[in-house]
Amino acid sequence: MLSDELKLEIQTAYSTYLKSNELTARPGQKRMIAAIANALAQVQADESGARTSGEPVCLVEAPTGTGKTVAYILAALPVAIAQGKKIIISTATVNLQEQIVYRDLPNILRSANLAFSYALAKGRGRYLCVSKLRTLCGMLEESGRQSSIDFLLSGNHSIESDERTLYKELQDSFDAKDWDGDRDNWADTLDGKSWHRVTASHFDCSGRRCPHIDECPYFNARKELEEVQCVVANHDLVLADVALGGGTILPAPEESIYIFDEAHHLPEKALNHFSLSFRTHNSQQWLQQIDQQLTQIGKICSGEAMIADQLKKIPGLIEQISAEMSVVTHMIEPLLSEAPSFKSNSDPLYRFENGDVPEPLMQHSANFSLLFVRLNRAVMVIADEFKEIIEVGRGAITKADAEIWHPVFAQHVARSESAYQLWEAYSKAEESQAPNAKWIELFNFDNQDEFEINCSPVFPGDILDQFVWQRCYGAVLTSATLAPMGTFDRFVMRSGVPSGSHREIVPSLFNYSHQAVLNVPKLNCDPTDSSQHNELVVHFVKNCLKEDEACLVVFTAKKQMHDVYESLPVFVKDRILIQGGHSKQEILNLHRERIDLGRGSIIFGLASFSEGVDLPGKYLSHVVIARIPFAVPDNPVVAATYEWLEKQGKNPFAEVSIPDATLKLIQTCGRLIRREDDCGQITVLDRRLMTRRYGSTMIKALPPYRLNMGQPLSPDLDAI
């Protein structure tokens, strides 16, 4: 129950915020604030602050224009502070993350009469590893150390002269306190390969034992996160933290109230984060690299019995793994040679139906798993020994040598652990619950055939439930598209949130019937007839779009987008900005420039232009959707999902395809109306919205646009 004191604090903060910014209250925003505050207030805790009862998750679908960020901060922050918890705001995009940190939070702090502190959270990879930089610069200053440098760089190319200059500049600037070690704060863009050499991961960071801990940019940033009440992160960072046990990068889940903005991305992010892969040729190169390093490291470790003992084990393990890899490669080659044309690209792919791996391959996978476990133990012991030497010093190995070799072997720990997990999954029969998707791809990399063995969960809900929902004190999940057909069922199934979660659908403040028209014209072909449909889209773009219009044309397939573009006359192409020709941001900037000059502009884009595109007012007057965005099951995870649902006696098209396509359709249509004074039209060049049963369901799920159904687009169109 929300106490009277908290209720008054939230109401006062909202009214103060509105007055300070000369705004009027929005009904949807007030409704969202109330839903979140009441849901979080129902969570019960014991004297230690641990959650004991109450439903921790609140789902809120709130459309564009609601003011979601202000709503969830004003609702959740007072509750969190009262309970002694932290707020972790997690977004899916950098743009929204920066908007919250640099615009929304400072404004709320300034104008809502709330006292709180906040900070932006980043992963280790955004921060300098002082130990690596100092070690590298020290080695570069010495002659005859190139071989050691090559090992330190884990097989990367030798350092060029301009890179040597860069590392010296980084060190000088950091020592002079002109730079804080944050990659994003360096004046120039840092090349990924050059930066990778001087940053650390969870595995190769020596942590509190590092002699440079007091000046470590990452740990100093981590201290700041421990002191603030509101942390802004992203979905990937949150998932990385909980996968490490929680509380490693961010505050512990038990001490946190998560707010997942753009929450519809969370299940897909979880799938990507918890998937595994193993490349045969690349792994062979890695094993050869370890073998080469043994001679070098043996020279300095002969007096260290623990390390020397593990070093003796590694060559035999590498030999056995290489032999096993040769056997497995010969087993999977026939599978790929006989694989059906599963994907639209030319790379052969074989998917194991129902996640079931043939018995012989399972047995060899078990052998692989055991060998990688043994390799993992050996390199882990060596890495741990080096970590201890860094802290206390010991025997013949200097701290400087330990600092060189600890990150090298820590990376071997990470890689062998990933390999072990992958092959363990392939060694086990799938159980009754949703199986893992398992598949093998063959592609050519650097003129070398590369087999990639993959494993991914099908439904991330169990993972999110285990790592997040069962552990966190509370969570708010919000997006404009959590309930695309008026129900949260599809999202609940994918995200694993408890079925009894609080649910709220906030109505829009836009007058859609006045602001926008939805055209579904009378057409003589379905998109399933690709040739005729391409002609139709070409005809429409050439003849039905005005020369001075600001248009966005969204395709579901790159091939169709390029085929249509190439079929258009030059005078139309001159108005088109096609995805791939420039970065997304450059396309949007060029589009705005053209409109400002009074010229027409047409953007040709794929699915990424259905989100994160904000072109208000004159910058967008017409959204064209080439076809209903059904996902084609040429993705092995999607195919495995459909397969599993069919085994459960369910209809994958009804339970997955239609809801997912409806969500994408809503997102794409949503590019048009971003403000209360926006207006324009949406045209869907897919007659299935009128001819198929699911079409009316999809239209009902869309905002209440003014409908223009079944009208020909031009006199010539009926001839197509």
Element (H, E) at 604: strand 601-605
Rounded to the nearest integer, the mean pLDDT of the chain is 90
The 10s digit of each residue's pLDDT in 229-243 is: 999 999 999 999 999
**Tokens standing for residue 539:** 């005809």
For residue 7, CA distances in Å to 70, 92, 348, 610 come to 16, 30, 60, 38
The 10s digit of each residue's pLDDT in 331-380 is: 998 888 776 544 444 578 899 999 999 999 999 999 999 999 999 999 99
pLDDT at 140: 80
The 10s digit of each residue's pLDDT in 67-102 is: 999 999 999 999 999 999 999 999 998 888 889 999
Burial (CB count <10 Å: 0-12, 13-18, 19+), residue 554: buried
**Tokens standing for residue 173:** 């600037």
Element (H, E) at 566: helix 558-567
Burial (CB count <10 Å: 0-12, 13-18, 19+), residue 460: buried
Grouping H, G, I as helix, E, B as strand and the rest as coil, residue 245 is coil
Greater confidence (161 vs 427) lies with 427
- DSSP labels for 4-27? HHHHHHHHHHHHHHHHHTT----H
| pLDDT above 90 (res 158) | no
For residue 321, CA distances in Å to 287, 315, 330, 421, 455 come to 9, 10, 14, 15, 20
CA nearest to 113, candidates 19, 22, 21, 16: 16
Which pLDDT band holds residue 507 (cuts at 50, 70, 90)?
very high
Which pLDDT band holds residue 143 (cuts at 50, 70, 90)?
low
CA nearest to 183, candidates 211, 160, 217, 155: 217
Burial (CB count <10 Å: 0-12, 13-18, 19+), residue 339: middle
| pLDDT above 70 (res 154) | no
Instruction: Report the C-alpha gap between 391 and 405 in whole angstroms.
Output: 14
Please measure the distance between the N-terminal and C-terminal CA atoms of the chain and give it in whole angstroms: 63
Which pLDDT band holds residue 155 (cuts at 50, 70, 90)?
very low
The torsion region of residue 663 among left (phi > 0), alpha (psi -120 to 50) and beta comes to: alpha
Question: What is the average per-residue pLDDT within 514-530?
Answer: 93
Amino acid at site 469: W
Question: Are residues 130 and 212 in contact, defined by beta-carbon separation less than 8 angstroms?
Answer: yes
Residue carrying the six token digits 């090992």: 151
Residues above pLDDT 70, as percent of the chain: 95
List of domains in the chain: 4-117+228-271+461-505 (3.40.50.300), 124-220 (no CATH), 277-456 (no CATH), 512-719 (3.40.50.300)
Residues 6+ apart with CB under 8 A from 472: 56, 253, 254, 256, 257, 258
pTM above 0.85, yes or no: yes
The 10s digit of each residue's pLDDT in 264-322 is: 999 999 999 999 999 999 999 999 999 888 888 887 887 788 888 999 999 999 999 99
| pLDDT above 70 (res 400) | yes
